[in-house]
A = this chain, B = another copy of it.
Amino acid sequence: MTIGIGLLGLGTVGAGVAGILASPAGRHPLVGELAIKRVAVRDLNRPRPIDLPAAILSTDAEAVVDDPSVDIVVEVMGGLEPARSLILRAIAAGKPVVTANKAVIARYGEEIAAAAAAKGVYVLIEAAVGGGIPIIEPLKQSLGGNRITKVSGIINGTTNYILSRMADEGAAYGSVLADAQELGYAEADPAADVEGADAADKIAILTALAFGGSVPRSAIPTEGINRLDARDVGYAAQLGYVVKLLAVAENPGGAANSAQSAASQALDVRVHPTLLPKSHPLAGVYGVNNAILVEGDPVGQVMFYGPGAGAGPTASAVVADILNIAGIWAVARPGVAGPGASGAGAALDPLLAASRWRQCHLIDSAQTRHRNYIRLRTSDEAGVIGKIGSCFGAAGVSIQSIMQFEAQGERAEIVVITHEVLEANFRQALLAIEALADVQAVEACLRTL
C-alpha cells in the first residue's frame, strides 16, 4: 500500500520531513510506503532546500487537505490560524493529522481532541514537545501502567542556551540574548521563549497526556527568564545550584492521591526559573538540549533527553507519528478495503489516541509547597539577619540557610533558602520582610528544588 501525505508548510521542518520520505533506504521499511502527494506553500517561487515536483505544490492549503490522494495531513506551517482551521478541516474529512504545532494544541487541544474522537481519527503531536526526543509516544505507549506523580522538564532550548551561557560566563541576560539572536538561537521577537509562554504551551500538552486530563492553558502560572539577574545565577552556583527554566506538572498528593477517584484531580502546573541542585538529573542539560523527567509509581524516575529543536530532530518526530498511523493501518484502516480493512467505524487504539480519561484542575497556588530562594537588599547593620529570620519564623517558614553575600557601603545583600514550605506562609513572610525598615527591596524570588 502507498499512504499519501499532504504537507502543510515547507519550511525547515517540512523540508526535513520531505527529505526523510524521499530517502527511505536504511530507515524502517514502512517509510518506503509513504509518498508526499500535495504540499501547501505560501510562495510557489521561493527557492527551497528540497526538490519537489512543481505540480504537487499549491498555495491553496484547503485543496491540499481535501485532495483525495492525501490520506494523512501533516501540519508544519506553525501559527494559530489557518493551522487550527486546517487541522479541523482534515478531521472533518476523516483524515488523521500529524502536527508539530504546540501553540495550537496547547490552546485548542480540547476542541481538536473532541472533533478527532467524534470522527474516529488520530491527531498525533510527538513533534510539539521536545523536538526529536521521544516523549509524547512514551508517555502514551510506555508509561500507562503508572500513576504519574510529576513531569518536570527543560523544554525550551532558547532559554536553556541563554541560561547555560549566563552560568558559564557570568554574563548578563540582555547581552547573552542579543548574542543568541545573532546566532539564530533566539528569534527577533523572543517573547514567547524568554517569557515562558512556549514552555507553558508544552507543559500544558504534557499535563494532559501524563494525568489524563487537561488544565486551562491560560491559567498556568508562568514566569520567564527575562527578569533574571546574573547575580542570582552566580549566587546559585556558589551555593551548589544551577538555574534552569523548569516547566512542572505535579500531583501534589503523590501516587496515593492519584489513586483516589476524586471528581477532579488537582494539579500544580507552572513554569518558572528554578534552582536545581547540581546533582539533579536535569542540572546537566546544557545549551539547546531539552530533557523531560517523568516520575510515577511504580516506575520511579525516567528521563528523556535530546535535541529540543531543529529541522532534523523535529522531522524525525513528525515521521514517527506518520509511521504510527501507517503501522496501525496495517492492522485496520477505517473505511478502506484490503488486507488491513475492518470496515467503517473501526475503533481507535486508545493508547495512541490518548483521549482524556479524567477531570483535572489547577490547584490554588497558595496551597502548594515549595522551596524558595530569595535575595534581599538591606542596610548593612547588625541585627538585620535576625529580623529577617524572625519574619520567616513568625509565618511558620523554616529556613535552610541565610547568608550575607556582600556589603558595599551601607548596602548588604542577603540570600535566604527556605525548606519546603506552604506558599501562603511564604507570601505572608515576604510581606512582613518587605515592611522591615532595614530591608530596601526583595530583589529576587526563585523556586528551588
Which residue numbers of A lie inside 8 Å of B, CB to CB? 16, 19-20, 23, 25-31, 126, 132-134, 137-138, 141-147, 212, 255, 258-261, 281, 284, 296-307, 310-313, 315-317, 319-320, 322-324, 327-328, 330-332, 339-342, 346-352, 357
Do B300 and A307 touch (CB < 8 A)? yes
11 contacts between A and B (CB under 8 A): A27-B144, A29-B212, A142-B317, A144-B319, A297-B312, A298-B316, A299-B306, A324-B351, A327-B352, A331-B332, A339-B347
Q: A141-B141, A320-B143, A351-B323 are in contact. Are A298 and B330 (CB under 8 A)?
A: no
- CA gap between A19 and B31 in the complex, in Å: 39
Contacts of A322 in B (CB 8 A): 145
Q: What distance in Å separates the Cβ of A210 from its nearest Cβ neighbour in chain B?
A: 11
Contacts of A307 in B (CB 8 A): 299-302
Which single residue of chain B is at the shortest CB-CB distance from A343? B342
Do A138 and B134 touch (CB < 8 A)? yes
Do A27 and B323 touch (CB < 8 A)? no
Contacts of A29 in B (CB 8 A): 212, 350, 357
Residue of B138, B305, B327 touching A351 (CB-CB under 8 A): B327
- CA gap between A299 and B20 in the complex, in Å: 11
Contacts of A141 in B (CB 8 A): 134, 137, 141, 320, 323-324, 327
Do B301 and A327 touch (CB < 8 A)? no
Q: What distance in Å separates the Cβ of A133 from its nearest Cβ neighbour in chain B?
A: 5
Q: A259-B25, A311-B298, A331-B328 are in contact. Are A316 and B346 (CB under 8 A)?
A: no
Contacts of A126 in B (CB 8 A): 142
Do B342 and A145 touch (CB < 8 A)? no
Do A313 and B332 touch (CB < 8 A)? no
Do A300 and B305 touch (CB < 8 A)? no
Do B348 and A28 touch (CB < 8 A)? no
Q: What distance in Å separates the Cβ of A25 from its nearest Cβ neighbour in chain B?
A: 5
- CA gap between A293 and B311 in the complex, in Å: 20
- CA gap between A339 and B349 in the complex, in Å: 12
Do B144 and A323 touch (CB < 8 A)? yes
- CA gap between A300 and B313 in the complex, in Å: 7
Do B331 and A342 touch (CB < 8 A)? yes
- CA gap between A320 and B305 in the complex, in Å: 20
Q: What distance in Å separates the Cβ of A295 from its nearest Cβ neighbour in chain B?
A: 10
Task: With A134-B142, A298-B311, A303-B303 given, name 10 new contacts (CB 8 A).
Answer: A25-B260, A30-B350, A132-B299, A132-B300, A144-B319, A144-B323, A302-B306, A302-B307, A332-B332, A340-B342
Do B319 and A145 touch (CB < 8 A)? yes
Residue of B147, B323, B342 touching A332 (CB-CB under 8 A): B342
Q: A315-B298, A349-B328 are in contact. Are A143 and B134 (CB under 8 A)?
A: yes
